[in-house]
Structure 1
C-alpha cells in the first residue's frame, strides 16, 4: 500500500494539478468563475453540462481558458430510458404542486433534454483534459474516442458493483460518491438510488480494495478533516461540491447560501420531489410535504423536473427558501463563505497536518 502523500503526488502529477482537490461538476451551479478560481488555486475546475447545448459548452470552456491555464473536467449524465408517462398521476402531482406555487399546466411535464450525442460531440470538440460521467457508463464507442484523443474518463460510482463495471468499461479514475453527497445521487439505476445508500467511509475502502485504478472520494467532504480521512482510506484526491457553494464565485441565491450555513447533517434528506431523480437537499417545508405519506409520489425524471419548474422559479424570484431546491450535502454546515481559492488552499494545507 502506498502512503496517502505518495498517492496524491502521483495523481496530481498525472493530471496536472497542484493540489488533490476537485470541484464537483454541479449542473446549474458551476459558473466559470468558480471553476476558474478552483483551478487557479491548483485544484480541478468543473462544469456539469447536463442542461447545456453545444454552444453553451463551447462558451463555458472559452471563458475558462481565457482566465485560467489550469485543469478542468466536463461532466454529463448518462441518459435514463424514456420515462413511462401516467397522465392521471401527473394530474395529482400538478394539483399538489399548485399548493406551493403557480398552477401547473399539463404540458409542463413534456421536458426535452439536450441531445446526449450532441453533448458528447461538443465535449470532444473542446478537447478537455478530463470528462466525467454520472448515472451510468459512456458507450464503448465514445470511450474509444476519448482514449484516441488522450482525454481521461472519471466515472462516478455509488457501489462496489458499479466500480467494477466502470473499471471494466475503461474508466481511468473512479469518483466514489457516498450517500452524504449533496445533489443527485449518481446511481446507475434510478430505482436503486434510495434503496442502495452507502456512506462514503464504508464505500471508499471497499472500492479501493476492489479495483486497480485511482479513486477520488466525494460526499460529505467540506473541510480539511474530511479530506485527510478520505486520503487515509485510500483515495488519491477529494472532490468537494457543497463545500464551495457559499463562496462568492459560486453565485448561488443568498437564501440558499444562508440555509447551508445553518444546516445540520440531519437537516438534509434524499428526495425525488424536485426532479424525479433522487438527490440530497435541505428538508424544507415543501420537501417534507412532498415526502409525506398523503402526497403523490414524484413523477419520473425529467417529468417531475418540468412539473416543478414554475414553483422553483417563483421561489428564486421571491426568495422563499421553503420552496427552493436547496441541494446540500450532510456536511453543509462546514461550508465556508471565503473565496474559492482560499477554500482550496485551506482544505489541502489543513489536510496535510493530519497525514503522516
Structure 2
C-alpha cells in the first residue's frame, strides 16, 4: 500500500516511520511503543554511558522483538579556547549574580560523547539492526566495523552535498533534515553552518528533499516539520521512502522531557522557534526563551560544541527549580500541535492518516485515467 517500501525492507519494519532519537528527551519506553506500532524504534546514545546504553537495549529487546536503531554523535572535539570560554563566562556573569550563583565557580563538562572505539565495541557486542549518525560519520575504520556487524548505517544531511558524501562513504540510507527540524542540525561539511554563523541559507525540507532524492541512489528519510499524515504523504510525493518524526513524540507520555518543556510545547504550534547555538555551541532549533532572546539566538561567543552548555547548566538548574524555563533548551520543530496520544497510538495514527491521503490520491489518478 505504500508507494515506496525500500526503507521497510531495508530495516525490517512494518511502517516507513523512524522515531527520531532525541538525546535527553526519551529512553527505551518511547522506542518500545513506537516499535510495537511498526516504526523503527531509536535509542539516543550521545548522553549515555556505554553501560546505560547496554541497559536500554536490553530493556528494548526484552519488551519487543523488533529492530532497534542506536544513534551516535560524530562531532570532532575542538581544541580548548580559553579566551572564548572566558568571554562566554563574562557574558553570563550577570545571570549568575541574579540567581545567587558564583560566576567564578568551575562548571562540569558538557556530556556529549562522540562515537569512538569504545562505542564501536558496544555496537559489535549488541549488534543493533540500524546505527545512525549525526554530524557526519565516524572514521572509515570504525564505520567498517559497524557495517561488519550487519547493521545498516544511516546519517543526517542538511545539504545535497552532505547527502552525496554520506552515500559515497557507506550509508545505506540518508536522512534529509530540513531547516524546520527541532533539536540539533546535523550539518558537518560547512563550518559556517556548524558554528551557526549563517543558517539563513539552509533549506527547508520540501526544498531539500526532492534534490536529495534526485542526487542519491539510496533511500531517503525525510525529517523536519513532519507532524501528521499530510506531511508524510507530501514527503513521499517528493521522493522520500520514509519519514523521521521527532517533535510529535515529545507530547507522548513516554517522553522524559521536563514539565516546563511540556508546558512550552503545548503553548504554541511552532512559530515560536528559532535556531540557536547558546545551549551547546551548534545550531539547534528550540522554542525562544530568555537565554535565546538576550544572549543569542546565535552568539559568536558561544564555545564550540558541546562546550557552551557547561556554563549554562547552573543557570538552568536554578531557574528550573523556580519554575522558570528561561535557560532551558526547549527543543521543538516548526510544526507541532498538542495531543494526548501515546507513542503506539501516535505512530498508528500517523500511518493511517498518510495511507488515507495516498490512497485517495491514487483513486483520483485512476479516475483521470
Q: Which whole-Å deviations, capped at 9, do the CAs of 1:117-170 have from their partners, x for residues lacking one?
A: 212222221110000001112211122222222100011111000001000001
Answer yes or no: is the 8 Å Cα contact 2:26–2:254 preserved in 1: no
* SS of corresponding position for 1:308: helix
**What's the TM-score, normalizing by structure 2?**
0.89
Match of 2:235 in 1: 230
* SS of corresponding position for 1:250: coil
Match of 2:16 in 1: 20
Residue 46 of structure 2 corresponds to residue 50 of structure 1: yes
In the TM superposition, residue 240 of structure 1 has moved relative to its aligned partner by 0.5
* SS of corresponding position for 2:254: helix
* Aligned-residue CA RMSD (Å): 2.1
In the TM superposition, residue 90 of structure 1 has moved relative to its aligned partner by 3.2
Q: Which whole-Å deviations, capped at 9, do the CAs of 1:16-44 have from their partners, x for residues lacking one?
A: 11111111111111211100000011101
Match of 1:207 in 2: 212
In the TM superposition, residue 301 of structure 1 has moved relative to its aligned partner by 1.6
Answer yes or no: is the 8 Å Cα contact 1:174–1:216 preserved in 2: yes
Answer yes or no: is the 8 Å Cα contact 1:53–1:119 preserved in 2: no
Match of 2:348 in 1: 345
Answer yes or no: is the 8 Å Cα contact 2:275–2:297 preserved in 1: no
Which deviates more, 201-210 or 74-83? Answer: 74-83
In the TM superposition, residue 115 of structure 1 has moved relative to its aligned partner by 6.2
Match of 1:309 in 2: 313
Q: 1:324 to 1:115 in 2, by over 3 A?
A: closer
Answer yes or no: is the 8 Å Cα contact 1:109–1:303 preserved in 2: no
Residue 100 of structure 2 corresponds to residue 95 of structure 1: no
* SS of corresponding position for 1:181: coil
* SS of corresponding position for 1:176: strand
Match of 1:298 in 2: 302
Question: What is the distance in 2 between the residues matched to 1:111 and 1:20?
Answer: 34
Which consecutive residues of structure 1, in runs of 5 or more, have no partner in the other structure? none
Which deviates more, 140-149 or 37-46? Answer: 140-149
**What's the TM-score, normalizing by structure 1?**
0.92
In the TM superposition, residue 298 of structure 1 has moved relative to its aligned partner by 1.7
Question: What is the distance in 1 between the residues matched to 2:279 and 2:167?
Answer: 32
Q: 1:226 to 1:37 in 2, by over 3 A?
A: same
Number of equivalences: 350
Answer yes or no: is the 8 Å Cα contact 1:36–1:64 preserved in 2: yes
* SS of corresponding position for 1:281: strand
Q: 1:273 to 1:143 in 2, by over 3 A?
A: same
Which of the numbers 325, 337, 341 marks the counterpart of 1:321? 325
Which of the numbers 3, 6, 9 marks the counterpart of 2:3? 6
Residue 136 of structure 2 corresponds to residue 139 of structure 1: no
Question: What is the distance in 2 between the residues matched to 1:100 and 1:344?
Answer: 44
Which consecutive residues of structure 2, in runs of 5 or more, have no partner in the other structure? 363-369
